């Protein structure tokens, strides 16, 4: 595959390289993305080598360090950052934990976040609140940027040390005005950490242009990598401050850390141990596959265009309420169907269309994740199924066709 194939040929090649797209209408990269064959094979090769020859030699250790460098560089390219600003983590949640604990908290300080955050962000911030006796303020995200900024303007008061928000909310798929939130927070002396789970890999992300202090990245969603890996972008301002904090004393328990290879002046200082080599390789390979072989411009352009078209198609169906604002969306589309409970609607649609999507329990809604690998025909088939369900009640909808499988003795 190359980035320069004609549209039809390229989509066919992409789908062939992502076998899970043939298992159903894959609309759930916001939870876990489809794994490329190339990534699976690279990870299997590493695991097989560990089985055959072990994993305890100095050569193995040096090999892992090199693969970690490659993973940082790949993530940096997608986030438009320097490799030295990227720390590998075991998840975006792990990255958010690191960011929360990187602040020099004092009792009475304040964290500001929103009511639309995932537990992956709320959990780490709640832990910081309980451990350091700080206040956790939840602001309401509005229906437009002005309302969102007004809510945060009211919440970011005296003593706010950290503002923690998602780039794209996991509930309604709303894209938040991150650069303006950063400006507001920085004007009041607060750092900003962004959960990029529903943004990185789905839409263009330039962490420098956004001005964020921390940006948390999962490997397994829109970057199509393995579970158990993620990354954290750390701004140069934060790194410089951390470096100054250590400048006066490089000794610990009698050891000179100044010349230690484990004492890093860059974002590696935020890394912990225990990286699984196959997963590190898988993350580097998936990001590189998207960047070099598929092409990020095409990934972003096609994914967002398809999502916008899907949202418009669903919104045109009588009885369907699309919750994702059309002028603030990325690649998530969240909706409800009049007269249907969330679980009942999900059951009918998934079984009739063979679609892989999800529910959003906090707002009693359904959510699809539209990827660059999705076909227009699949989205139309999904919409037709939603239209069928919306045209009935749970009591009047025609029974689904069933297939009886006869086994031995039948």
Over residues 255-268, the pLDDT tens digits come to 554 444 456 889 99
Distance between alpha carbon 383 and the CA centroid of its chain, in Å?
Answer: 25
What is the gyration radius of the CA atoms in the chain, in angstroms? 23
pLDDT of residue 291: 96
Q: Are β-strands 214-218 and 230-234 bridged in parallel, bridged antiparallel, or unpaired?
A: antiparallel
Beta bridge partners of 191: 162
CB 282 within 8 A of CB 289: no
Over residues 92-106, the pLDDT tens digits come to 999 999 999 999 999
Three-state secondary structure call for residue 274: coil
Share of the chain above pLDDT 90, in %: 87
- Strand order from edge to edge, sheet including 214-218: 86-89, 230-234, 214-218, 191-195, 160-166, 110-114, 135-139
CB 323 within 8 A of CB 172: yes
Over residues 287-344, the pLDDT tens digits come to 999 999 999 999 999 999 999 999 999 999 999 999 999 999 999 999 999 999 999 9
Q: How far apart are CA 220 and CA 205, in angstroms?
A: 17
Over residues 178-217, the pLDDT tens digits come to 999 999 999 999 999 999 999 999 999 999 999 999 999 9
Three-state secondary structure call for residue 322: strand
Mean pLDDT of 136-147: 91
Name residues whose C-beta falls within 8 Å of residue 395's C-beta, 6 or more positions apart in sequence.
none
Residue 94's region, left for phi above 0, alpha for psi from -120 to 50, else beta, is alpha
Which candidate, 357, 349, 393, places its Cα nearest to that of 374? 357
**What's this model's pTM, rounded to 2 decimal places?**
0.93
Mean pLDDT of 259-283: 85
Backbone φ, ψ for residue 215 (5° rounding): -140, 120
CB 350 within 8 A of CB 357: yes
């Amino acid at each position: 595959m190359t980035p320069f194939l004609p549209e039809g040929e390229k989509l066919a090649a992409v789908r062939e390289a992502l076998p899970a797209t043939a298992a159903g209408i894959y609309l759930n990269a916001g939870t876990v993305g489809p794994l490329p064959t190339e990534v699976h094979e690279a990870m299997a090769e590493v695991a097989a080598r560990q089985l055959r020859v072990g994993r305890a030699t100095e050569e193995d250790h040096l090999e892992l360090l090199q693969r970690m460098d490659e993973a940082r560089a790949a993530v940096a390219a997608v986030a438009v950052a320097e490799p030295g600003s990227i720390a590998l983590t075991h998840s975006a949640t792990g990255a958010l934990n690191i960011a929360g604990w990187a602040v020099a908290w004092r009792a009475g300080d304040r964290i500001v976040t929103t009511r639309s955050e995932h537990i992956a962000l709320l959990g780490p911030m709640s832990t910081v609140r309980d451990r350091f006796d700080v206040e956790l303020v939840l602001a309401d995200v509005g229906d437009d940027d002005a309302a969102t900024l007004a809510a945060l303007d009211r919440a970011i008061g005296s003593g706010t040390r950290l503002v923690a928000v998602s780039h794209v909310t996991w509930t309604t798929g709303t894209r938040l005005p991150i650069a303006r939130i950063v400006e507001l927070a920085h004007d009041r002396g607060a750092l900003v950490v962004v959960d990029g789970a529903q943004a990185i890999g789905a839409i263009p992300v330039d962490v420098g242009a956004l001005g964020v202090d921390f940006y948390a990245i999962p490997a397994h969603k829109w970057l199509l990598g393995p579970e158990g890996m993620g990354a954290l972008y750390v701004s140069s301002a934060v790194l410089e401050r951390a470096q100054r904090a250590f400048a006066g004393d490089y000794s610990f328990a009698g050891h000179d850390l100044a010349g230690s290879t484990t004492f890093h002046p860059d974002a590696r200082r935020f890394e912990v141990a225990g990286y699984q080599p196959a997963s590190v390789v898988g993350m580097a390979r998936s990001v590189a596959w998207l960047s070099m072989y598929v092409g990020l411009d095409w990934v972003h352009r096609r994914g967002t265009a398809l999502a916008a078209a899907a949202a418009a198609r669903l919104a045109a169906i009588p009885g369907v309420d699309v919750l994702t604002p059309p002028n603030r969306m990325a690649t998530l589309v969240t909706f409800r169907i009049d007269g249907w409970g969330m679980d009942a609607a999900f059951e009918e649609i998934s079984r009739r269309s063979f679609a892989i999507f999800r529910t959003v329990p906090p707002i009693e809604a359904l959510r699809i994740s539209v990827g660059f690998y999705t076909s227009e025909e699949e989205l139309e088939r999904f919409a037709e199924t939603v239209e069928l369900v919306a045209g009935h009640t749970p009591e009047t909808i025609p029974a689904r066709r069933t297939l009886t499988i006869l086994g031995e003795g039948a």
